[in-house]
Structure 1
Amino acid sequence: MRRFILGRLAWMLVILLGVSFVAFMLMRALPGDFAIAAAGSQSVAPEVLEAIRRDLGLDRPLLAQYLSWLGNALRGDLGTSFVTRQPVLGELLDRLIVTFQLTAIAAVIAMVMGTVTGLASARLRGVTDWCVRLYNGVMLAVPNYVIATLIVLLAGLYFPQISIFGYTPFLENPLANLGSLLLPAISLALAVSVTISENTRAAVLEVSNQDFVMVARAKGLAPRTILRDYLVRNALTPVITAAGLKIAALLGGSILVETIFAIPGMGQYLFDSINSRDYPVIQAIVLVAAAIVVLVNTLVDIAYARADARVKM
């Protein structure tokens, strides 16, 4: 198991190195001038622009710039924002905590909803199965930003006493913090939960027809025991696949949802940075987001090995 984990961690480092290189080069390939963006004005004297380029290290070859940026990033220095003139890492960490809270709440909601509805659809069949499949089909066709907009409209119309926009820090008021993130988390979780539900239903139905389940039923084992020890455990692998990929995708969906609900997270930070052409911030966010996605996928691989010993082989 240790060798399996070390191998996945090594691949994670290789992927992150490639992502950092691509992100850095893409920023340099975008139209425009870093020096003009840093100066904040188009009408700047050429000598001032040259001084800015020299100060930012933009007068050096691209590979030298990348190696310098990578070395600083490994030491925890992700550069300085063009807009705020503050270190990117400090601002990014504050936003990352908010996005992590939002994503964690959305992931829990999605897992609970997806697993419960998927099991109910597979075990109860009949009307329950039809209702769950119909709901899943509708929710798969609706983007999360549309769901977020509808939630804002409906909550503002029928529940005006509920605070819809803004964010309350956890240390300031834990209950208000949960309340400020609940509606955005539901917006993110609904589309993810239906994918988990469909995969759970399909996996449980497939495992239900296996010989070892039929033998367990023939032995007279309790339905709860068969569900827990035979069905759920052996159906975990495809469910872990769907859950891992979709939970990692929550990060991408949080950009629009955070903007709609005015949540000061990493998604809104990226949106504002793109609008203001704040390239150091964009590079840092891409790198951190890639690290989170790769880490989630690595944890999914490890969960495979824990759920099914054959994966380690």
Structure 2
Amino acid sequence: MTRFVLGRLAWMLAILLAVSFIAFAMMRALPGDFAIAAAGSQSVAPEVLAAIRQDLGLDRPLLAQYWGWLGHALLGDLGTSFVTRQPVRAELFDRLAVTFQLTLLAAIISMVMGVATGLAAARMRGAIDWIVRLYNGVMLAVPNYVVATLIVLLFGLYFPQISIFGYTPFLEDPLANIGSLLLPALALALAVSVTISENTRAAVLEVANQDFVMVARAKGLPPGRILRDYLVRNALTPVITATGLKIAALLGGSILVETIFAIPGMGQYLFDSINSRDYPVIQAIVLTAAAIVVVVNTMIDIAYARVDARVQL
């Protein structure tokens, strides 16, 4: 198991290094740069643009810029924002805390909804199965930003007393904090929950036909015990994989959802930074998001190996 974990950690570091370089190179390959955005016009004198680039270190070769950034990043210094002139790490961590709350709430909602509907469809069959599968098919085809827009329209028109936009810090009012994140978390969770539901249904149906389940039924064990100890436990492996991957994907979906609901999280921060060509902020957000996704995937692999010993081999 130790060798398995060390191998996954080595892959994690290699992936993060590759992602950081690709993001660094692609940002600087985009038309325009921060010097032009800061000057506010394409017709600014070339010497003015050159002075801005020199001040920000944008005139150096790409590899020199990257190695300099990487050296500071390894020491925990993610640079200084071109726009605010503040350390990126402090600004990013404040935004990351908001996104983490939103993602955690969306993950809880999606897991509860997905596992519950998947189990109901697999165990009850009949009309319940058809209804769940029809709902899953529709929700899989609808992007989360469309769901978010529909939620805003629905609550704005028919429930104007409910606050839709904005964010309340947790330390200021915990209940208001959850209330301000509930609707955007629901918009994120619906698409994820249907994937978990389909995987749960398929896994439970597959395990239900195994010989050890039939033997347990022949012994006269209670249905609740069969469901808990035989069906759910042995159906966990594919569900863990699907759940972890979709929860990691919530970070990508949060960009538009946070913008729609005016949530000051990492997604909205990235959106604003792309518009202003704030390279250090974009690089820090991409690296942070990649690190979260890779860590989640590594944890999934480890959990997978713990549930199914064959994975270690």
Task: Tell me the equivalent position of 1:82.
Answer: 82
Task: Tell me the equivalent position of 2:129.
Answer: 129
Q: Aligned pair 1:62/2:62, yes or no? A: yes
Deviation per residue, 1:233-289 (Å, 9 max, x gap): 111111111111111111111111111110001111111111222222111111111
Q: Mapping of 1:147-186 within 5 angstroms? A: 147-186=147-186
Task: Tell me the equivalent position of 2:189.
Answer: 189
Task: Tell me the equivalent position of 2:18.
Answer: 18
Q: Normalization by structure 2: what TM-score?
A: 0.96
> Is residue 37–residue 278 contact of structure 1 (8 Å, CA) maintained in 2?
no
Paired AA for residue 25 in structure 2: M
Deviation per residue, 1:1-53 (Å, 9 max, x gap): 22222211111011000000101111111111343335555454444433332
Q: Aligned pair 1:212/2:212, yes or no? A: yes
Q: Residues of 2 paired with 1:158 and 1:2: CA distance? A: 56
For structure 1, the residue ranges without an aligned partner over 5 or more in a row are none
> Is residue 166–residue 263 contact of structure 1 (8 Å, CA) maintained in 2?
yes
Q: Residues of 1 paired with 2:29 and 2:237: CA distance? A: 41
Residue correspondences, number:
313
Q: Residues of 2 paired with 1:126 and 1:47: CA distance? A: 74
Paired AA for residue 172 in structure 1: E
Q: Report SS of the residue matched to 1:85.
A: coil
Q: Mapping of 1:97-112 within 5 angstroms? A: 97-112=97-112
Q: Residues of 1 paired with 2:281 and 2:259: CA distance? A: 17
Deviation per residue, 1:198-232 (Å, 9 max, x gap): 00000000011111111111111111111111111
Q: Report SS of the residue matched to 1:142.
A: coil
Q: Residues of 1 paired with 2:276 and 2:66: CA distance? A: 22
Q: Residues of 2 paired with 1:145 and 1:248: CA distance? A: 17
Task: Tell me the equivalent position of 2:245.
Answer: 245
Q: Residues of 1 paired with 2:142 and 2:132: CA distance? A: 16
Distance 1:221 1:289, change over 3 A: same
Q: Residues of 1 paired with 2:18 and 2:291: CA distance? A: 11
Q: Mapping of 1:267-306 within 5 angstroms? A: 267-306=267-306
Q: Mapping of 1:23-42 within 5 angstroms? A: 23-42=23-42
Q: Report SS of the residue matched to 1:59.
A: coil
Q: Report SS of the residue matched to 2:142.
A: coil
Q: Residues of 2 paired with 1:59 and 1:155: CA distance? A: 50
Q: Normalization by structure 1: what TM-score?
A: 0.96
Percent identity over the alignment is: 85
Distance 1:156 1:34, change over 3 A: closer
Structure 1 residue 55: Cα displacement:
2.6
Structure 1 residue 293: Cα displacement:
0.7
Task: Tell me the equivalent position of 2:234.
Answer: 234
Q: Aligned pair 1:223/2:223, yes or no? A: yes
